[in-house]
Structure 1
Amino acid sequence: MAGAMLLPALLDFADGNDDYRVFLGSAALIGSVCSLVAVATRGQRIQPTPELGFVLVTGVWLVSCVVAAVPLYLASIGLSVADAMFESVSGLTTTGATVIVGLDALPRGILLWRALLNWLGGIGIIGMVLLILPSLRVGGLSLFHLESSDRSDKMLPRVQQLASGIISIYLVLTVACAVAYGAFGMDDFDAVAHAMATVATGGFSTHDASLGYFDSDGILLVATVFMLLGALPFVLYIRFFLPRQFQRWQDPQVALFLWITVICTVILITMRLWHNDVGPWDAFVSSAFNFVSIITTTGFASEDFTGWSHAAVGIFFIAMFIGGCAGSTSGGIKVNRILILWSVVQAGFGKLLRPRSIQPLRYGHRDISADGVQSVTIFISLFFALLMIGTGALATLGLDFVTAFSGALTALANTGPGFGDIIGPAGNFAAIDDHALWVLVFLMLVGRLEIVTVLILLSPAFWRGR
């Protein structure tokens, strides 16, 4: 994080903006503290335990968010502590909601830092989901447990190689996206900043009008393609390049995710042609871009889609819950959990009709363990419980019901825009008071860390005997 701060420092220095001192000073302070801790603990060995894993994951993300907020608070843009923390958490959790108005006039260093937060958060999410959470049996992710303990079907010889493969693919997608943006008219800075936010499905833009600022169908189509690529399991890309591996690993969530995207996009196109005065091409581009932006939880916008029709708003509302695939940078409930829950429902119906039958639980060609079913059930139950609690808390703090409910949902699902005049696609979170922002910060962080990872730390049983 300290090293990343040097990039906006260099950019602000080149632009003659005094904020380079903020980034440089923050990098020096944070880098020095972390180096001292690293030296002081060098050579120490700690026995890894599940309890340590939960503390480590939550602690690293929370500290990273605080660290990332330091230059935002100290910079010349005048953010409060709550504003800076909200922007930091929104960036690292790839939510994409913002409290900053006037992005077009901001120093490029701040804009680059926001894009870097999206990009770093995206790769951090993939690593956490594929390398850490499966071993903690969180959220039904054990199906994606591909590290060294999975010796019967080991994809790469070592965890480090898996991590290297993920990082390489992430870099390639980012560079390819930036080049594509540049080919359709973005300048170099905008292309790089938006590429980092697109592949990370983060949604931070350098303009208040988001990608609608560029008024380019080509740019919207490029964003649509790379948002979809960012929302697919990154393991899929690694399997594709390994001999005889791609055929051995068919993930049903990918097919369902793509089918949902295609069907809902076609419905939106039809409704736009029927209800709105737009041509077929414009209906296709705007429908595909905005729906993919929401279902992948990226949060880019080209226009205020809440004005299309009530039916269109309903489709976007459902998409906010669904999210992308597990093992990607997307948020939401995720398609794999929906498939597992559907398998449980089918087995339950089968048991009611034939009480003595054995109803297998399957995810594609794999059996679903009892732990997996329990993890998914706990996650979905807690998701809706937190959604209700968050909505109640925000409403108590003075927000109207639509803003409170969609704000809690967009924070918990890490989507970005909500609904209504305040936080809809044409608005932002600048008008939300500090107390409500802290509620949203909590929901964003909890949602990004698969809920259980954070909430288990609030259980007295977790600390008993520690």
Structure 2
Amino acid sequence: MNRFSRMPFFVQLMLVAGAAMMVPAIYGLVIRQHDDARAFFYAGVLLMSLAGMIAIARARPEATADRDTRRDRDREGRNQLMTLLLTYTVLPVFLAVPFAEATQNTTFFNAYFEMVSSLTTTGATLFDDPERLSRTVHLWRALVGWLGGLFAWVTAIAVLAPLNLGGFEVLSARQVGQGSSSATQIIRVAAGPERLARYTARLFPIYLGLTVGLWFALAMVGGAPYVALCHAMSVLATSGISPVGGLTGSSAGILGEGLVFAFLFLALSRKTFSVDDVRKDALPLYRDPEMKIGLVLLVVLPTLLFIRHWGGALEVERVWDVPAALSSLWGGIFMVMSFLTTAGFESASWEEARMWSGLQAPGVLLLGLAIFGGGVATTAGGVKLLRLYALVRHGEREIEKMISPNSVGGAGALARRIRRQGAYVAWVYFMFFAFTIAAVMMILSLFGIHFEEAAVYTVAALTTTGPLVHVAAEVPYSFADLGTWPKAVLAATMVLGRLELLAMIALINPDFWRR
């Protein structure tokens, strides 16, 4: 284990990816899809062999390794961010090999797009008909998405938090990319691969246990075991990947949707699972800013949707259908949670609510929820609730100062820091996010994509909410209708959305590259 933790982090990921390919290989063998099983087995063996040879070539005596590690401490943050960028851009090349070999009726670039989408937990797919892919390939997509969710959890705590990135800058008074004194001390004591290995060992049992628990629960309420497993992995990773076209194609019913809804709470706040926040002044879960603003959205928005559908139903039928009304209310609650956490699962009651009221689904609302995103250091994408909370608190304070100019804002040092420095950094991030949306939309427009369509594709990719393209507009869109270059632009946008803009800005900052 010590030798493994001392390997370059990208080599570790190659070994993990090669070992993960054995899972669909074994499953394909069990269900007698031998061609698919061979594709994954051979690709896994080749990838692990390549990673092993690289590890042997880079092996150094322990004394030399310790000396080089101490010398590279100042470059630790830069190296880790570069590794994250390589992971989301280069590793999908290896992951796409068995996908392309098993599918055979698609190009390698399409397979690469699928793996980028899965690894970034976006869930965008070029295969709208699930029957085009075998069960083995569907399992591979869900597994890659699940591993991508674990990777996002671990790197947020082990890499982004020490560098004061990924949303943690809202709570800190230090400069973005600089990190706190305790985090700097951690970096000096432990090298990046060792720190990542340690946090992986602490988070993986939690992540695996939650996935297995949801899998069994979905199977108990009537879901097929294979479909339940894929959905359980997709829920924990908030990837929205499904082998049957979503929850509407599952036999788990409304009980399955209730279980998914409960587990999506994990993506609202890092405090539901975090192992890194040991400060004495750390707030409990019920007082956590992310959880509070998430619950407010879960109460207010479904209520407004219910009133909207109720008004439309009364205009059409002049009679209030109680079962349809309750179904509409549940559909609104589930959809708000699903798209706020950027999972993108659609409730069966959502379509029933539209049919009951005769109104179109409010796609702009879903776009806004995806932009808001979930909690910091979770698998959710978007701007993140902590940044939204900082902007809300700053707005409240400004209104108070307009009413009472001599008033003094209280609630402690942490609240003041969030209202001032936190709100400033959150606004800067929000502006970069908005400019990125505009830039990607302009690039897509050069390929003949219309404004509304470009907006939906861009927000879906940047917020890592791939299923958004099917429900945000009156007519469902499809990634398969795009050309090669628009797909390449959206694949890069997925990577940018998962890495977060401040991390990319830190990489191009000249001061970050100085010793």
TM range (shorter): 0.7 to 0.9
Aligned amino acid, residue 343 of structure 2: T
Is this contact kept in 1: 2:240–2:467, CA < 8 A? no
Moved more, 197-206 or 369-378: 369-378
Moved more, 337-346 or 423-432: 423-432
Equivalents in 1 of 2:237, 2:274: separation in Å? 17
In structure 1, the residue matched to 2:5 is none
Deviation at 1:240, TM superposition (A): 12
Q: Deviations over 1:332-367 (max 9, x none)?
A: 111101122234445566777888988789786573
Equivalents in 2 of 1:192, 1:105: separation in Å? 20
Is this contact kept in 2: 1:273–1:279, CA < 8 A? no
2:280 corresponds to 1:263: no
| Cα separation, partners in 2 of 1:67 and 1:358, compared to 1, 3 Å | farther
Moved more, 37-46 or 442-451: 37-46
Equivalents in 2 of 1:81, 1:444: separation in Å? 18
| Cα separation, partners in 2 of 1:408 and 1:20, compared to 1, 3 Å | same
Equivalents in 2 of 1:5, 1:219: separation in Å? 28
Residues 280-295 of structure 1: matches in 2 within 5 Å?
280-295=325-340
- Which structure 2 segments of 5+ residues have no match? 1-16, 173-178, 187-194, 314-320
SS in structure 1 opposite 2:95? helix
Q: Deviations over 1:268-303 (max 9, x none)?
A: 233333325761332133222222211110011235
Choose which of 364, 389, 393 in structure 1 pairs with 2:443: 393
Say what the alpha-carbon RMSD is for the aligned residues: 3.6
Is this contact kept in 1: 2:113–2:491, CA < 8 A? yes
Choose which of 466, 470, 476 in structure 2 pairs with 1:416: 466
Deviation at 1:259, TM superposition (A): 1.6
Is this contact kept in 2: 1:141–1:372, CA < 8 A? no
TM-score (norm 2): 0.78
Choose which of 298, 312, 325 in structure 1 pairs with 2:343: 298
Aligned amino acid, residue 381 of structure 1: M
2:458 corresponds to 1:441: no
In structure 2, the residue matched to 1:149 is 183
Moved more, 308-317 or 66-75: 308-317
| Cα separation, partners in 2 of 1:258 and 1:357, compared to 1, 3 Å | closer
2:234 corresponds to 1:189: no
| Cα separation, partners in 2 of 1:443 and 1:311, compared to 1, 3 Å | same
Is this contact kept in 2: 1:134–1:141, CA < 8 A? yes
In structure 1, the residue matched to 2:26 is 10
Deviation at 1:372, TM superposition (A): 4.9
Is this contact kept in 2: 1:347–1:359, CA < 8 A? yes
Choose which of 146, 171, 183 in structure 1 pairs with 2:208: 171
Moved more, 257-266 or 174-183: 257-266
Deviation at 1:53, TM superposition (A): 2.8
- Which structure 1 segments of 5+ residues have no match? 153-157
In structure 1, the residue matched to 2:145 is 118
2:229 corresponds to 1:213: no
| Cα separation, partners in 2 of 1:280 and 1:151, compared to 1, 3 Å | farther
| Cα separation, partners in 2 of 1:190 and 1:418, compared to 1, 3 Å | closer
Choose which of 464, 476, 481 in structure 2 pairs with 1:431: 481
Is this contact kept in 2: 1:82–1:437, CA < 8 A? no
Deviation at 1:151, TM superposition (A): 8.6
SS in structure 2 opposite 1:95? coil
Choose which of 51, 55, 65 in structure 2 pairs with 1:34: 51
| Cα separation, partners in 2 of 1:362 and 1:71, compared to 1, 3 Å | farther
2:92 corresponds to 1:65: yes
Moved more, 262-271 or 443-452: 262-271
Deviation at 1:399, TM superposition (A): 1.5
2:441 corresponds to 1:407: no
Moved more, 199-208 or 351-360: 351-360
Moved more, 281-290 or 109-118: 281-290
In structure 2, the residue matched to 1:155 is none
Deviation at 1:98, TM superposition (A): 0.8
| Cα separation, partners in 2 of 1:411 and 1:243, compared to 1, 3 Å | closer
Equivalents in 2 of 1:284, 1:373: separation in Å? 33
Is this contact kept in 2: 1:165–1:238, CA < 8 A? no
Instruction: Give the number of aligned pairs.
Output: 458
Moved more, 40-49 or 237-246: 237-246
Aligned amino acid, residue 312 of structure 1: P
Choose which of 23, 42, 58 in structure 2 pairs with 1:25: 42
Aligned amino acid, residue 133 of structure 1: L
Aligned amino acid, residue 42 of structure 1: A
Q: Deviations over 1:97-148 (max 9, x none)?
A: 1111321353211011011011101111111112211222224414498996
Residues 191-340 of structure 1: matches in 2 within 5 Å?
191-208=228-245, 210-214=246-250, 216-229=253-266, 231-238=267-274, 250-276=287-313, 279-302=324-347, 309=359, 312-340=362-390
SS in structure 1 opposite 2:158? helix
Q: Deviations over 1:6-62 (max 9, x none)?
A: 111111122222021211121112111111122222243341323223212212332
Is this contact kept in 2: 1:139–1:372, CA < 8 A? no
Deviation at 1:167, TM superposition (A): 1.9
Residues 360-375 of structure 1: matches in 2 within 5 Å?
365=415, 367-368=417-418, 372=422, 375=425
Deviation at 1:5, TM superposition (A): 0.5
Deviation at 1:321, TM superposition (A): 1.2
Residues 371-386 of structure 1: matches in 2 within 5 Å?
372=422, 375-386=425-436
Aligned amino acid, residue 281 of structure 1: L
| Cα separation, partners in 2 of 1:59 and 1:214, compared to 1, 3 Å | closer
- Mark the structure with the bigger radius of gyration: 2
Deviation at 1:254, TM superposition (A): 1.0
Deviation at 1:63, TM superposition (A): 2.4
Deviation at 1:465, TM superposition (A): 6.7
Equivalents in 2 of 1:445, 1:426: separation in Å? 24
| Cα separation, partners in 2 of 1:244 and 1:452, compared to 1, 3 Å | closer
Aligned amino acid, residue 448 of structure 2: G
| Cα separation, partners in 2 of 1:457 and 1:165, compared to 1, 3 Å | closer
Equivalents in 2 of 1:362, 1:56: separation in Å? 38
Equivalents in 1 of 2:413, 2:487: separation in Å? 38
